[in-house]
Amino acid sequence: MSATKYLRAGLVPVALLSTSILNVAQAEETASAWETALAETKPIFNARLRYEGVDQDGLPEEASALTYRLRAGLETGKFLDTKFLVEFDHIDDFVDDFNSTINGKTMYPVVADPNATELNRIQLTNTSLPDTTITLGRQRIGLDDARFVGNVGWRQNEQTFDGLRIQNTSLGDLKVDFTYITQVNRIFGDDSPIGRWDGDTYLLNLSHPTPIGKLTGFAYNVDVDNAGGVFSSQTIGARLAGKQPVGPGELGYALSYATQSDYGSSNLDYTADYYLVEGSYTVDAFTGGLGIEVLGGDDQRGFQTPLATLHKFQGWADKFLTTPATGVEDIYAKAGYKVGDVGPLSGLNLTAVYHDFTADVGGADYGSELNLAASAKWDSVRITLKFADYSADDIATDTSKFWIQFDFAL
């Protein structure tokens, strides 16, 4: 046998041995990565107990709702640059003198916290591509201030979205956020005929920091097959929000404009505009602010934000969850004071907001609303008290609401 043949013959077992060693090393590396992912797995648990009382003119009974939510799940560490998250909610009540929207108790005002046991989130999050996060599955989404897209976290059963979200920062300071949604899992739950919205929705949000604040451009094509497509719309707009030191304090501001029209399965033909101008000033522990937010109207339809965290806007009494055809002009003033630690309480905050609502078209005086809130932590429990008092003129009826809420989270 020639030297070359001996060499080739000798290389075969060497190659096989090298391959075996490499396979063992890869297997050990994979096993190690798997063990690390398991070791870094974190439990998810939080509990909430809330009382909500509602006195609404025009209904024979006052609502008293003592409800609770248990949320539990887990999120793994990374394996192959991918995390897995699963989370369940259980919502029930101790006192059920309220209209949950599905319990048939229509003599009471609505407290939209129906009993439910549901899969809240289940998602895979991958970061294997440079500067890119991809999330697939049922997930929580909140864009900017949640005026157009949010999780409605105030309600016991939050709003989540089934879809694919891609967030990319490969273009320097420009953040690209794109989401495709096939289903919206709403606060009303699986047992409600309006608890799920199906359709093809596309959300594009582009943001970039500037010397005067964060500049955002957005295009939200919402297509909802349910309810005859009346919630389908195309919204295109921009937002600038920032803070600047001025004198002894800090000036905060937000400006936003958007235009909306019918889209997809909608059988309407309308165009409506949105704008927001807000300013605030903070000195030490005190903050004061003024703002005007207008959701325009047209003959057929007012400017709608069906995927928003609506409770956060236009008063906590929730009188404008659906914008009237004549639109809503909300002029508001707000004040906040950070009290700090008081006895066993830490981080006590006080908030007051006053709203004056009128029609964007026609000038009708809808009414006014006063909102008051206090929140603090007691050990590991956050305590929140809220009050809303809506005084009606040309729309809805006088309504007052009171909440006391306890939140605990690991």
Q: What pLDDT score does 337 carry?
A: 98
52 and 108 fall within a common domain: yes
35 and 9 fall within a common domain: yes
29 and 94 fall within a common domain: no
Last residue of a domain, one of 128, 144, 165: 128
> Which residues form the domain of 59?
43-128
Instruction: Tell me what percent of the residues of the chain surpass a pLDDT of 90.
Output: 88
Residue 236 lies inside a defined structural domain of this protein: no
* pTM to 2 decimal places: 0.91
How far apart (Å, rounded) are the C-alpha atoms in residues 147 and 205? 13
Q: Is 361 exposed, middle or buried, given 0-12, 13-18 or 19+ CB atoms closer than 10 A? A: middle
Q: What pLDDT score does 299 carry?
A: 74
Residue 50 lies inside a defined structural domain of this protein: yes
Last residue of a domain, one of 113, 128, 143: 128
Cβ atoms 309, 160 nearer than 8 A: no
18 and 86 fall within a common domain: no
pLDDT band at 4 (very low <50, low <70, confident <90, very high): very low
What are 369-407's pLDDT values in tens digits? 999 999 999 999 999 999 999 999 999 999 999 999 999
Q: What pLDDT score does 184 carry?
A: 98
Scan for tokens 């794109």, then name that residue: 178
What are 226-236's pLDDT values in tens digits? 988 999 999 99
What are 43-97's pLDDT values in tens digits? 999 999 999 999 999 999 999 999 999 999 999 999 999 999 999 999 999 999 9
Mean pLDDT, the chain, integer:
93
Sign of CA dihedral 304, 308, 314, 318: positive
The secondary structure of the chain in percent helix, strand, coil, rounded to multiples of 5, reads 10, 55, 35
Residue 73 lies inside a defined structural domain of this protein: yes
pLDDT band at 179 (very low <50, low <70, confident <90, very high): very high
Q: What pLDDT score does 9 carry?
A: 47
DSSP 61: S
Averaged over 344-350, what is the pLDDT?
97
The per-residue DSSP string of 71-129 comes to: EEEEE---BTTEEEEEEEEEEEEEEEESB-SSS--TTS-B-----EEEEEEEEEEE--S
Instruction: Tell me what percent of the residues of the chain surpass a pLDDT of 70.
Output: 93
Q: What pLDDT score does 30 carry?
A: 75
pLDDT band at 33 (very low <50, low <70, confident <90, very high): confident
Last residue of a domain, one of 128, 155, 178: 128
143 contacts: CB under 8 Å, gap ≥ 6 = 149, 150, 177, 203, 205, 218
Q: Which of 15-19, 180-184, 270-274, 326-330 has the lowest mean pLDDT?
A: 15-19
Residue 18 lies inside a defined structural domain of this protein: yes
Q: What pLDDT score does 14 carry?
A: 46
Q: C-alpha angle with apex 172: 171 to 176, nearest 5 degrees?
A: 50
238 contacts: CB under 8 Å, gap ≥ 6 = 215, 216, 217, 218, 256, 257, 258
The answer on pLDDT for 17 being more than 50 is: yes
How far apart (Å, rounded) are the C-alpha atoms in residues 328 and 360? 5
pLDDT band at 6 (very low <50, low <70, confident <90, very high): very low
Residue 320 lies inside a defined structural domain of this protein: no
Q: What pLDDT score does 384 carry?
A: 98
What SS3 class is residue 34?
helix
Domain count, the chain: 2
256 contacts: CB under 8 Å, gap ≥ 6 = 147, 237, 238, 239, 240, 274, 275, 276
Residue 55 lies inside a defined structural domain of this protein: yes
8 and 48 fall within a common domain: no
34 and 52 fall within a common domain: no
Residue 232 lies inside a defined structural domain of this protein: no
Residue 171 lies inside a defined structural domain of this protein: no
Q: Which two tokens stand for residue 172?
A: 């320097």
For residue 354, list its beta bridge partners. Answer: 333, 370
33 and 60 fall within a common domain: no
How far apart (Å, rounded) are the C-alpha atoms in residues 184 and 160? 6
Better pLDDT: 92 or 362: 92
Q: Is 7 exposed, middle or buried, given 0-12, 13-18 or 19+ CB atoms closer than 10 A? A: exposed
Q: What pLDDT score does 8 carry?
A: 47
Q: What pLDDT score does 72 carry?
A: 98
Averaged over 252-256, what is the pLDDT?
98
Which residue from 228, 297, 234 is spatially nearest to 267, judged by alpha carbons? 228
